[in-house]
Amino acid sequence: MRTAAPGRAVLFDWDGTLADSAETSFRCYVRLFGSFGIAFDRVRFEATYSPNWYKTYAAVGLPQERWGEADALWIDLYRDETPALVPGAREALERLRDAGRARGLVTSGSRERVAQDLVVLGVDGLFGAIVCSEDARLKKPHPEALLLALDRMGTEPGRAAYVGDSPEDVEMARAAGVFSVGVPGGFPNRRALRASAPDLLASDLAEAVQALLRR
């Protein structure tokens, strides 16, 4: 574990880290799997949650030949929801901007959904690079997406930090040679996040940004 964060660039995960989307995702999953005749409750949500939703599909027994159909339906269901930011997210991003730190977004979410959320929430202009699921062939924890964002930002891995709420975020950062910051969110993976041993485990975004600016 590194003891000091490098730091001209800070990149973020979206769902659960900046976007307060845990309950939204749960509601969408209940409706989605219900349409396929699959019961889904909070116990199953905790047992099957992954930022790679195909792992969730497989875990609940959704046939692979219907995954494309499920993806399209999930997007439709999400449109019925109202997006929201995690408390302190806007302030964290603005503080980094005001301190001259480059900011990036690396998410497993689809570009259509994430781009719309960014505009609705008024934070679309706060990122120098945005990498979504369509931009990388391999999903987290593979470092492809994070390395692509760093390349677009002209930043070396050793001068960047990545902030996320899942062990996959920590593993991706570690594989890319980036300082990893864990911030527990609303998804049922807090214990797994702690067990992944990020370089920095913060209680919230304000604490994470404060630590990164101080080092």
What pLDDT digit, counting tens, does each position of 180-214 carry? 999 999 999 999 999 999 999 999 999 999 999 98
What pLDDT digit, counting tens, does each position of 122-149 carry? 999 999 999 999 999 998 999 999 999 9
| CA–CA dist 163, 33 (Å, integer) | 30
2-6, 86-90, 168-172: least confident range: 2-6
Tell me the pLDDT of the chain averaged across its residues: 94
| CA–CA dist 169, 115 (Å, integer) | 20
* CA 16 to chain CA centroid, nearest Å: 6
- pTM, entire model: 0.92
- Reference 11, options 110, 103, 122, 93; nearest CA is 103
The tokens for 74 are: 């999930």
pLDDT surpasses 70 at 170: yes
Percent of the chain clearing pLDDT 70 (strictly above) = 97
Domain locations in the chain as residue ranges: 9-20+84-214, 22-78
Whose tokens are 């490098």? That residue is 6
Instruction: Give the dihedral of Cα atoms 128, 85, 187, 113; nearest 10 deg.
Output: -60
User: What is residue 7's predicted lDDT score, i.e. its pLDDT?
Assistant: 58
Q: Please state the rounded mean pLDDT for residues 90-119.
A: 96
Q: Which fold has domain 9-20+84-214?
A: Rossmann fold (3.40.50)
- Sequence-ordered alpha helix ranges (H) in 22-140: 22-35, 42-48, 53-60, 67-78, 89-98, 111-120
| CA–CA dist 10, 103 (Å, integer) | 5
pLDDT surpasses 80 at 1: no
Q: Please state the rounded mean pLDDT for residues 70-76.
A: 94
What pLDDT digit, counting tens, does each position of 22-58 carry? 999 999 999 999 999 999 999 999 999 998 899 999 9
